[in-house]
Structure 1
């Protein structure tokens, strides 16, 4: 890091810029991994029940304010694919200090996350246990940041 051709203040400035770049990379990759964890189907070791893919496909990412949610309903008999690239683009545009929101647009997302006992607005009766696919992924934030940081340090130090 130190260079005999740079003044001390220039060296500190370069170190700060490099640190900010690395912190941003850790934040972005960690956010991507948390969302990936949220989106992992139960059949692949995750917590999200996937039948048609509609819930997964309804995920929207945004910076600063959450997207409008809980309004979309699937079309009977149709299957859906998650557009991961759209979420990745939002995360790629995030800067340190930004709040990244991952919001499900499926009308039934909260019911699957938290569970639901009782009658819905259509008169159907449920006794559904929550899957906690969002909460469990969010609880791993610190662990994921530590893992990503370790991987980045190894890469910077030429160990991978």
Structure 2
């Protein structure tokens, strides 16, 4: 009698391919979720759209005074997600300089002399809370079998 089941070597290769693309797909999906605006299923508040366009993926944390920090140009998440490897870290963040103020709120005068009495929107925490569902969605789309 001969074996007629699944070839274990082919099965293992499929598993490895699926697991290797998981980090990049997950980072891409999370960046897309962070860029999704209120009103179309997301949590990111929209006034001009710069906040949602400022979502970026990088291999290191974005520094406030770094190059392109306040750039409102939307990044190609599929290309940028390649920084996400199983053995490293990827950072998904907002580059808009006012993202922190909009998320957490601010009451007072800033260094430019502008007065604010702005309550926080908490959109960053809301996106982070969706991470398990985003992970489940990405995993469900991978072809393990």
TM range (shorter): 0.7 to 0.9
User: 2:113 — aligned with what?
Assistant: 123
Compute the displacement of 1:144 (Å).
1.6
User: 2:45 — aligned with what?
Assistant: 49
Q: Deviations over 1:14-49 (max 9, x none)?
A: 72x533321232322222121111111113232222
1:108 aligns with 2:98: yes
Rounded to whole Å, the distance in 2 between the matches of 1:70 and 1:52 is 23
Q: Aligned residues, how many?
A: 138
Structure 2: 5+ residue stretches without partners: 1-5
1:97 aligns with 2:91: no
Change (3 A) 1:152 1:108: same
Change (3 A) 1:93 1:100: closer
Compute the displacement of 1:96 (Å).
0.8
Structure 1: 5+ residue stretches without partners: 4-10, 75-79
Does structure 1 retain, via aligned residues, the 8 Å contact 2:34–2:127? yes
SS at match of 1:43: coil
User: 1:6 — aligned with what?
Assistant: none
Q: Which protein is richer in helix relative to its size?
A: 1
Does structure 1 retain, via aligned residues, the 8 Å contact 2:102–2:121? yes
Q: TM-score, normalising length from structure 2?
A: 0.75
Rounded to whole Å, the distance in 1 between the matches of 2:62 and 2:132 is 25
Compute the displacement of 1:81 (Å).
4.9
Change (3 A) 1:23 1:73: closer
Q: Following superposition of structure 1 onto structure 2, how do residues 8-23 of structure 1 map, counting pairs within 5 Å?
A: 11=9, 15=12, 17-23=13-19
1:137 aligns with 2:132: no
Change (3 A) 1:20 1:95: farther
Q: Calculate the aligned-residue CA RMSD, in Å.
A: 2.7
Compute the displacement of 1:111 (Å).
0.6
Rounded to whole Å, the distance in 2 between the matches of 1:145 and 1:118 is 38
User: 2:28 — aligned with what?
Assistant: 32
